[in-house]
Amino acid sequence: MYDPTVARLTYRALLGRRRALILGALPLLLIVISVAVRALTGADDQTAADVLGGFALATMVPIIGVIAGTGAIGPEIDDGSVVYLLSKPLKRPTIIFTKLIVAIAVTMVFSAGPTLVAGLILNGNGQQIAVAYTVAALVSSIAYSALFLLLGTVSRHAVVLGLVYALVWEALFGSLVPGARTLSVQQWSLAVAHKVADGNLVTSEVGLTTATVLLVAVTVLATWYAGQKLRSLTLAGEE
């Protein structure tokens, strides 16, 4: 299910100079903000939770997921170079699974790592806040990568659609409409983080069991459907 050649080509596409600069901008901004906040307010658990929840998990992780998930396959479909990949004797689900693994790895590196560093800067991991939000970033990286890889497979406007979901649905509707929070990767990952953290500074609108089931279901279904769409794309090209 994993092809090293496809993985190497995907890593090269995602970590080219231009995209790497974009991927690194938000983590760098998070670190700068954390240093400034720590210098101005000192170590405060509530402030750490606000920064990590409001910027790292709500903004940085989904945007990085959009860039990595859609960038793993979208550009190849747009410029037609995917035809060369599909002409190889590889199963379509293998291509999708390999690209998913790469997207997950890139998203985790550029989101979970900086989240942990930022948390340690903000409050030295008081009440396990830094670790809790790092776990949330790791968990959400998997689901976001699968969702946005699917978008990259089915739409030429995947980046726009991904940003709409991440910034409008989760950030805007998720904060205003209680029902929308149940259908939020952010809230699912916060349920896992709540289990890790000490105290009640990390909360979620979704229970842990429900969140776990939804995270697994969305990841599996999005990956499966992306494989089916890639298969149909091949057949259309052959016809």
pLDDT tens, 118-151?
999 999 998 999 999 999 999 999 999 999 999 9
pTM beyond 0.85, yes or no: yes
Half-sphere exposure of 123 (CA within 13 A, CB side): 20
| Mean pLDDT of all residues belonging to the chain | 88
Which SS3 state, helix, strand or coil, does residue 89 take? coil
**Does the pLDDT of residue 175 top 70, yes or no?**
no
**Does the pLDDT of residue 53 top 80, yes or no?**
yes
**pLDDT (0 to 100) of residue 166:** 82
**pLDDT (0 to 100) of residue 174:** 60
Q: What is the mean pLDDT of residues 6-20?
A: 87
**pLDDT (0 to 100) of residue 7:** 92
Work out the number of other CB atoms within 10 angstroms of the CB of residue 131: 18
Length of the chain counted residue by residue:
239
Q: Which of 71-80, 104-113, 216-225, 226-235 has the lowest mean pLDDT?
A: 226-235
Tokens 């229970």, located at residue: 207
**Does the pLDDT of residue 65 top 70, yes or no?**
yes
Q: Are the CB atoms for 154 and 148 separated by under 8 Å?
A: no
**pLDDT (0 to 100) of residue 168:** 81
- pLDDT tens for each residue of 80-100: 777 777 777 888 889 999 999
Q: What CA–CA distance (Å, rounded) separates 114 from 111?
A: 6
Kindly report the CA angle at 184 between 232 and 217, in degrees rounded to 5? 50
Q: What CA–CA distance (Å, rounded) separates 5 from 11?
A: 10
Q: Are the CB atoms for 123 and 198 separated by under 8 Å?
A: no
